[in-house]
Amino acid sequence: MLNSEQIAFYRDHGYLVVENVFSETELAELNAVTDHYVEASRVVTDSNSVYDIGPGHSHGTPRVRRIKDPADQHDVYHAASRHPKLVKILQCLLGPDVRFDHSKLNIKPVGGGAAIEWHQDWAFYPFTNDDLLAVGLYLDDCNEDNGPLQVLPGSHRGPVADHHHDGIFVGACDPDAIEQDLNQAVALTAKAGSITIHHVRTLHASTENRGARERRLLLFSYAATDAWPLVDKVELDEFNSRIITGAPTLAPRQTAVPIRLPLPHAERADSIFESQEAVAGRSFAEA
Ligand SMILES: O=C(O)CCC(=O)C(=O)O
């Protein structure tokens, strides 16, 4: 449950950190399952429906940058995405009717892991209204050196930035074109078991991991049930099966939100790491 200050902070700034949401036992279980996935990746040679594999990956040195759709792959991740504490927090921010949208687990190994360029999730998936957010659960303690999620406070109220390069949607914006001063960025450092929350329009990014500890961030995205996707096709039974609290509706709520469609796709549109290559290195060039 969030208090009124936390809710007001989220509404004003477009992000929030909540500590101690997951217990040590729950974290141990999530990390054990994740270890298992990383171990199993040793025999994988290229990205597939489970893994986004990074450069230098080998049997001896697994380099998994992302486990795709973890909540659909394993019961432990699935249960985490519907954790009763999370559901209460989501009800405070999205209202009584909430649908799970999708999940991903981003891993930055010690001594690397790709930086993620500045972007808004909204640029990837516009809906009829913007009552959507992403929860990031840190599976490891994350300090400034470990490539924490960074956000630009208040950017959720601004325009949808241009995420195209040479006419192709690349899923990242040119940092020079961001109106807000990037020095205002806030690094969301927190202990394992804490969650970050960012609004779907909040500009965010992260550096590579320069620390001595792996950085695992399990991300879950949610929407109010009356927010309907503008790009992805809806299969009604599957769509409604993802409602985690409240009721479905056939009446999407439309609000005056800025929209820019993520089209045409980059060649490797299924990987943010590949599609952002066109602007890679720009966000943190001076870091
Ligand atoms: O893993 C991160 O630091 C950023 C995650 C993110 O923004 C994304 O995967 O879209």
- The DSSP string of 40-86 is HGGG--S--SSEEEPTT--SSS--EEEEESHHHH-HHHHHHHT-HHH
Q: Is the minimum distance from the CB of 163 to ligand 1 under 6 angstroms? A: no
51 contacts: CB under 8 Å, gap ≥ 6: 37, 41, 44, 64, 66, 67, 68
205 Cα: distance to centroid of ligand 1 (angstroms): 7
Q: Residue 245 falls within a domain, yes or no? A: yes
What is the model's pTM?
A: 0.96
Q: Is the minimum distance from the CB of 206 to ligand 1 under 6 angstroms? A: yes
Q: Is the minimum distance from the CB of 116 to ligand 1 under 6 angstroms? A: yes
Q: Is the minimum distance from the CB of 106 to ligand 1 under 6 angstroms? A: yes
Q: Residue 117 falls within a domain, yes or no? A: yes
250 Cα: distance to centroid of ligand 1 (angstroms): 31
**Residue 282 confidence (pLDDT):** 77
Q: Under a CB-based contact definition with an 8 Å cutoff, are residues 126 and 254 in contact? A: no
Neighbouring CB atoms inside 10 A of 5's CB total 8
136 Cα: distance to centroid of ligand 1 (angstroms): 9
Q: Residue 54 falls within a domain, yes or no? A: yes
Q: Residue 285 falls within a domain, yes or no? A: no
**Residue 281 confidence (pLDDT):** 73
Q: Under a CB-based contact definition with an 8 Å cutoff, are residues 243 and 156 in contact? A: no
Q: Residue 48 falls within a domain, yes or no? A: yes
Q: Residue 286 falls within a domain, yes or no? A: no
**Residue 111 confidence (pLDDT):** 82
204 Cα: distance to centroid of ligand 1 (angstroms): 8
Q: Is the minimum distance from the CB of 217 to ligand 1 under 6 angstroms? A: yes
- Domain of 44, CATH number, reads 2.60.120.620
- Identify the domain containing residue 164 by its residue range: 4-279
Instruction: Name the domain count of the chain.
Output: 1
For residue 149, the ligand 1 atom closest to its alpha carbon is 3
- Sequential pLDDT tens for the chain (287 residues): 899 999 999 999 999 999 999 999 999 999 999 999 999 999 999 999 999 999 999 999 999 999 999 999 999 999 999 999 999 999 999 999 999 999 999 999 998 888 999 999 999 999 999 999 999 999 999 999 999 999 999 999 999 999 999 999 999 999 988 999 999 999 999 999 999 999 999 999 999 999 999 999 999 999 999 999 999 999 999 999 999 999 999 999 999 999 999 999 887 777 888 888 877 777 786 54
Q: Residue 287 falls within a domain, yes or no? A: no
Q: Residue 81 falls within a domain, yes or no? A: yes
